[in-house]
Amino acid sequence: MNFVQSLAGKNCLVIGAGVTGMACQEALVNFGANSKLFDEKVKAGADIVNEIPSGVELAIISPGWRDDHLVISKLRSDGVEILSEIDFAWQVKQVLAPSQKWIALTGTNGKTTTIKMVESIFKAAKINGAACGNVGETVIASVCAKKPLDYLAIELSSFQIHWSNLPKYESVAVLNIAEDHIDWHGSFEAYSQAKLKLLKHSNKVILNKSDSELSRRTSSDLITWFSLDTPNAGELGVVENLLIDRAFSASPSQANEIAELVDITPTVPHNVLNALAAAALALSIGIKYEDIKIGLKNFSPDHHRMELVLSKNEINWIDDSKATNPHAAAASLLSNFKVVWIAGGLAKGASMSDLVKRCASRIKAVILIGEDRELIAKAIGDYSPKIEVVRVNQLSDAKTLMNDVVSAAIKLAQPGDTVLLAPACASMDQFDSYVQRGQLFAQAVKAQV
């Protein structure tokens, strides 16, 4: 009896009723399981464990649930088998699509852009594959697709990797590691180890040599490195205006052109690194250089990622609402020269000191919003007290708040400046999501400027 057959009649519990949980529930029901959804309710203390149904044999955990949650602890003490969505999908894949190959990508920033670059390359190469995971379809839904896919390019968060133990990837790439989700993992060390755990589950490992944390924490002759420097044998890099491969070429002495810098949009340093990582993943499964070049050239980034909202009176207004941690905000700030910076929100336990130290020379003024804005204010006071700081309080709804923010920016910005929404924080204290935050910013700019 295979894994899918064994689910028929089994008492299953899906922990978490979000997008991932609903996809797992649908798959279990389709396989004939007696499956129930369980989501956290507003209950005091340990009462929540009383809501767990009796007789559970298998639990599928959505990635956002912490390992030490009372519900998880109770299931473990009861001897219930626990699988993550990724491990569940892997076991289903072994039955439904045994020849399907998985490649994966993680990092603090740039994951979605890079995995969608890979998907664009798939299209150019006419590969029967798709991007999934932390973007697009869930992994389980992609595995269960009516027309089986030959390749999955999977974007993985630290939560997903933490819970995952079974998959074997053809190749994995890690873009960077910087402070994020410290509130969930408990420490930067635990967060870093969650990311690097992925390396143990792959035939090929592709890492960003430009990232100090990756360079410091990993060392192996088996690693394929990429960077913005001239590549050594076995690496990918940049030579003048070309992206060059010396890792997947026929011999160590051979260098092959992947693409030109002008093929990458936007042509900023961190996005060129994204393109190199996407190219390396594609090359690792045998995709040709000419298809990679076309795929990269055809790709355009999502909204709210360094998106130019308006250029007027020699002032650029840029929406990078997706910059939800200091590392991402730093990349945006360092891509501009004189910035009126809009920042703040939920810091998720991250420090703002390194961000301000690295980027102070680019910041003309900062407009602060949100619950943890004083962390940024303190860092500016400590490292660059001459930067003008303006605080905008939320007096009513989110739309009014963003209108007030843009009004404040109009007073500060002068020709040659960039007004940049790159909050370095999550949005949920004042907005529904980073998407709403970016949309309201764009609306306010177009209405007022």
Annotated binding site: 107-113
CB-count burial class (<10 Å; 0-12, 13-18, 19+) for 220: exposed
Work out the number of other CB atoms within 10 angstroms of the CB of residue 2: 11
Q: Within its chain, how far is the Cα of 193 from the centroid? A: 16
> If you count them, how many residues does the chain have?
449
Instruction: Specify binding-site residues for ATP.
Output: 107-113
Tell me if 367 sits within 8 A of 392, measured CB to CB. Answer: yes
CB-side exposure of 40: number of CA atoms within 13 Å?
14
Q: Tell the residue number behind the tokens 């989700």, with chain if given.
A: 181
The 3-state DSSP class for residue 395 equals: coil
Q: Tell the residue number behind the tokens 């594609």, with chain if given.
A: 282
Tokens standing for 361?
A: 């020379």
Which conformational region is residue 286 in: left (phi greater than 0), alpha (psi within -120 to 50 degrees), or beta? left
d(CA 337, CA 91): 50
H or E segment to which residue 444 belongs: helix 434-448
Tokens standing for 424?
A: 């370095």
Tokens standing for 17?
A: 């009723």
| Extended beta strands in 29-147, E state | 34-38, 58-61, 81-84, 101-106, 129-133
d(CA 434, CA 12): 34
